[in-house]
Amino acid sequence: MRIISAAEVEAALDYPSLVERLRQAFRRDIAVPVRHHHDVEVTGGSTATLLLMPAWQVDRHIGVKMVTVFPDNAEKSLPAVMGIYVLVDGKNGSPLALIDGPTLTVKRTAAASALASSYLARPDAERLLMVGTGALAPQLIVAHAAVRPICNVLIWGRNPEKAKRLAKQMNRRDFRVDWTDNLEEAARGAHVISCATLSKEPLIRGDWLQPGQHVDLVGAFRPDMRETDDAVMRRARVFVDTRAGATKEGGDIVQAVDSGALSLDDIAGDLLELTRGERSGRRFYDQITLFKSVGTAIEDLAAAQLVCERY
């Protein structure tokens, strides 16, 4: 059994290859049971969470991602969320690889947004607004640039210093990256708006949106979180990664449905339907599109398979 580190996962998963691998995975028959969610008591501390996310492709591979969430880890200078991915031979059950979970997750998450963007963003989209400065932000920037001619990026974050640092790290001559403290102005001028935050209050407003924009929502993975207001949902043609996940966990979708701003029938399609040609993506140049992602084990399995092929 191979042990594959975070650095090896990063090196193995270039976005052009990973996006295409996800496209093929969504077209295939991959079994994805409901994820297991368990509360774990911690003596003298906050209750921890154990998540188990399995998926398998018959006669090829079985994969399980195990994630732990320990809310008190910040006090110990440790990440709150940690995890591993186990890939198993689908014909005989023998373990093949133990893969760094956090890196695999951020790579496949960003690739899923890029996959959606390949159907939903305008082909000439050049300007990207990145809302958020966490681990996903640089990955999302590079992923979107792999499928669209992105060459001008603005980064906005609640902490301007983090936005400045990230912009400085990513800026280069052929790929201009800067930071902004004016979210509304940046949103109005972007072709693609990508959000990866833990916000519980809307950040992007519907009256800011311009014809032809694409909105990519990656954060707000719980029903009590959201990154956009109801007006965004009313104005956009809405797509999700999976209907089962987004309609139960994605705060932007859940809250818009609860308020009546969006009905479940208003969701135009998911990644399975887009990749299989069952639903059309962007229909015309001036259309506003939106993609809400909460993640699916299909993406983890596809990314793990690609990593193992390259090591």
Cα separation, 144 vs 276, in Å, equals 21
**In the chain, what percentage of residues exceed pLDDT 90?**
92
Cα separation, 132 vs 112, in Å, equals 17
Q: What is the per-residue pLDDT for 240?
A: 97
Q: What is the per-residue pLDDT for 270?
A: 97
Q: Mean pLDDT across the stretch 282-308?
A: 96
What does the block give as tokens for 70?
């320990």
pLDDT digits (tens, 9 = 90+) for 20-43: 999 999 999 999 998 888 999 999
Q: What is the per-residue pLDDT for 71?
A: 85
* Paired residues of 3 in beta bridges: 98
Q: What is the per-residue pLDDT for 192?
A: 98
pLDDT digits (tens, 9 = 90+) for 44-98: 999 999 999 999 999 999 999 999 989 898 888 888 889 999 999 999 999 999 9
Q: What is the per-residue pLDDT for 34?
A: 85
Q: Mean pLDDT across the stretch 138-156?
A: 97
Strands (E), the chain: 2-4, 36-40, 48-57, 61-69, 81-89, 95-100, 127-131, 152-156, 176-179, 192-195, 214-217, 237-240, 267-270, 289-292
**In the chain, what percentage of residues exceed pLDDT 70?**
100
Q: What is the per-residue pLDDT for 166?
A: 97
Amino acid present at 212: G
pLDDT higher than threshold 90 for residue 221? no
Question: Which residues are within 8 A (CB) of 287 and not within 5 positions of it... i.e. 6 or more apart?
Answer: 211, 212, 237
End-to-end CA, the chain:
12
pTM, two decimals, is: 0.94
pLDDT higher than threshold 90 for residue 174? no
Is 306 in contact with 17 (CB distance < 8 Å)? yes
Q: What is the per-residue pLDDT for 64?
A: 98
pLDDT higher than threshold 90 for residue 136? yes
pLDDT digits (tens, 9 = 90+) for 229-267: 999 999 999 999 999 999 999 999 999 999 999 999 999
Q: What is the per-residue pLDDT for 146?
A: 97
Radius of gyration of the chain (CA): 19
SS3 state of residue 95? strand
